[in-house]
């Protein structure tokens, strides 16, 4: 049961990727000079990517260097080459056998970090089965069911799991906090001039990990969330398909402008609402505006996922129909859902996503009105 939920996520992703008309099995054999986006049943990267690489599919393999970030979602990922910046992964099974220049964030059913792997930033791993045999230059934070640490960690460590094993090659060079049901771990000779301490408070985090330990309750939660999200995407996509198509044009070379307009929306609207509520004749208008604003926040990620799916379609000139876009948007929504669960970073990601989304939609409305005036 440990990997059911993440495999369910992967299945939803693969359904959408398998339905793309232009891309099924993808092999990248030529150097990519810019950011690269691909969705397919099988994706194999055998050439250098000079920018970021964003891939999603059933079977993902990276065999050459990426000079930016790697973001991946799907069934399986095999990372066999250098990544210069951050790596963010949501897959059923991941094998990391490479050097990573900055942070590694992994959500998965089964995650293996080999003895050849070296992570120069922090490692955050939320999975069912975790095997960490490499080196982490930064901090270690792992949460799961079955955990094996048999590598080197230079900075502080936080380990939360049901069954935690420390291997003979493990070395911790800084303080270690842990929680498991037995309240003790045999660290052998792994502690280098430091101490390990059981932290009861970490047990609360463990009890909140139903979406990352993949038990029965997590499966039910994910099923409800996926079904609800799918219906929401379906409704919004059907009602506002034309608006999303127009808004995508605001993305092209206008990311900062969209972000700026979005911040005005996120900050300015609440100020207007407060002002109208302070005026007696404006109370009704203020309450109505507040309801709409709260609605936009609640469904912000859902709208962003559809917009992102249309952007990839537009950017890659894909021949995706209504259902293709709908399923791919669901995959993006699940990935964003996972990313935004990360403390602090998740809040920042949410703000950026909402700002760019509503900024792009605002620019689309402005452009549409200008076209009507000129016509």
Secondary structure (DSSP) of 253-304: T-HHHHHHHHHHHHHHHHHHHHHHHHSGGGHHHHHHHHHHHHHHHHTHHHHH
Domain boundary among 212, 241, 272: 212
Dist. CA 320–CA 21, nearest whole Å: 7
High-pLDDT (> 90) share of the chain, %: 33
Dist. CA 7–CA 127, nearest whole Å: 11
The boundaries of the domain holding residue 339 are 216-374
The answer to whether 15 and 32 have CB atoms below 8 angstroms apart is no
Give residue-wise pLDDT tens across range 312-368. 888 777 888 888 888 888 888 887 777 766 666 667 777 888 888 888 887 777 776
Number of domain units in the chain: 2
Instruction: State the number of CA atoms in the 13 A half-sphere of 194 facing the CB.
Output: 18
The answer to whether 38 and 19 have CB atoms below 8 angstroms apart is no
Same domain for 240 and 126:
no
Same domain for 365 and 221:
yes
pLDDT tens, residue order, the chain (375 aa): 333 333 333 433 433 333 333 445 889 999 999 988 887 678 899 999 999 998 877 789 999 999 999 988 767 899 999 999 999 987 778 999 999 999 999 887 789 999 999 999 999 998 889 999 999 999 999 998 899 999 999 999 999 998 999 999 999 999 999 999 888 999 999 999 999 999 988 876 555 544 444 433 444 555 666 777 787 888 778 777 777 877 776 566 677 777 888 888 888 888 887 877 777 666 667 676 777 777 777 788 888 888 888 888 887 778 888 888 888 888 888 877 777 666 666 677 778 888 888 888 877 777 766 666 666
Same domain for 32 and 150:
yes
Helix and strand element counts for the chain (H, E): 9, 16
Task: Tell me what percent of the chain is helix, strand and coil, each rounded to the nearest 5.
Answer: 45, 30, 25
Helices (H), 165-254: 202-207, 210-213, 216-251
Domain boundary among 175, 196, 212: 212
Domain boundary among 151, 178, 212: 212
Give residue-wise pLDDT tens across range 106-148. 887 789 999 999 999 999 998 889 999 999 999 999 998 899 9
Same domain for 186 and 62:
yes
Say what the pTM is. 0.57
Same domain for 284 and 144:
no
The answer to whether 266 and 352 have CB atoms below 8 angstroms apart is no
Same domain for 362 and 236:
yes
Same domain for 154 and 9:
yes
Alpha carbon 281 to its chain's center: 44
Same domain for 132 and 63:
yes
Same domain for 224 and 205:
no
Same domain for 182 and 44:
yes
Same domain for 146 and 40:
yes
Which pairs with CB-CB distance under 8 Å and at least 24 residues apart come from 340-347?
340/301, 341/211, 342/105, 342/124
What does the DSSP assignment read for 324-347? HHHHHHHHHHHHHHHHTTSTTHHH
The answer to whether 155 and 171 have CB atoms below 8 angstroms apart is no
- R_g of the chain computed on alpha carbons: 22
Same domain for 53 and 136:
yes
Burial class (CB in 10 A: 0-12, 13-18, 19+), 277: middle
């Amino acid at each position: 049961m440990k990997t059911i939920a993440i495999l369910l996520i992967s299945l939803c992703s693969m359904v959408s990727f398998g339905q793309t008309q232009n891309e099924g099995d993808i092999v990248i054999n030529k150097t990519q000079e810019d950011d690269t986006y691909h969705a397919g049943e099988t994706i194999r990267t055998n050439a250098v990517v000079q920018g970021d690489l964003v891939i999603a599919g059933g079977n993902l393999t990276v065999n050459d260097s990426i000079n930016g970030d790697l973001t991946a979602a799907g069934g399986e990922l095999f990372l066999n080459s250098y990544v210069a910046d951050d790596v963010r992964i949501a897959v059923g099974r991941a094998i990391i056998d490479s050097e990573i220049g900055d942070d590694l964030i992994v959500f998965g059913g089964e995650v293996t970090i080999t003895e050849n792997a070296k992570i120069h930033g922090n490692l955050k791993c939320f999975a069912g089965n975790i095997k960490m045999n490499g080196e982490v230059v930064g901090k270690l934070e792992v949460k799961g069911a079955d955990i094996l640490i048999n590598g080197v960690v230079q900075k502080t460590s936080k380990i939360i799991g049901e069954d935690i094993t420390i291997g003979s090659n493990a070395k911790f060079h800084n303080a270690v906090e842990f929680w498991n049901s037995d309240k003790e771990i045999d660290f052998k000779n792994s502690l280098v001039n430091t101490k390990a301490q059981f932290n009861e408070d970490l047990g609360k985090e463990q009890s909140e990990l139903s979406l990352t330990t993949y038990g029965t309750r997590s499966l039910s939660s994910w099923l409800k969330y996926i079904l609800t999200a799918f219906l929401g995407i379906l409704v919004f996509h059907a009602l506002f398909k034309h608006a999303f198509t127009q808004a995508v044009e605001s993305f092209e070379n206008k990311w900062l402008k969209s972000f700026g307009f979005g911040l005005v929306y996120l900050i300015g609207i609440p100020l207007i609402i407060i002002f109208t509520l302070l005026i007696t004749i404006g109370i009704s208008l203020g309450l109505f505006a507040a309801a709409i604003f709260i609605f936009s926040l609640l469904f912000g990620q859902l709208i962003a996922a559809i917009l992102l799916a249309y952007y990839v379609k537009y950017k890659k000139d894909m021949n995706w129909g209504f259902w293709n876009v709908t399923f791919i948007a669901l995959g993006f929504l699940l990935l964003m859902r996972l990313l935004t669960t990360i403390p602090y970073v998740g809040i920042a990601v949410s703000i950026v996503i909402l700002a760019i989304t509503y900024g792009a939609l605002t620019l689309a409305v402005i452009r549409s009105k200008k076209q009507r005036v000129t016509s």
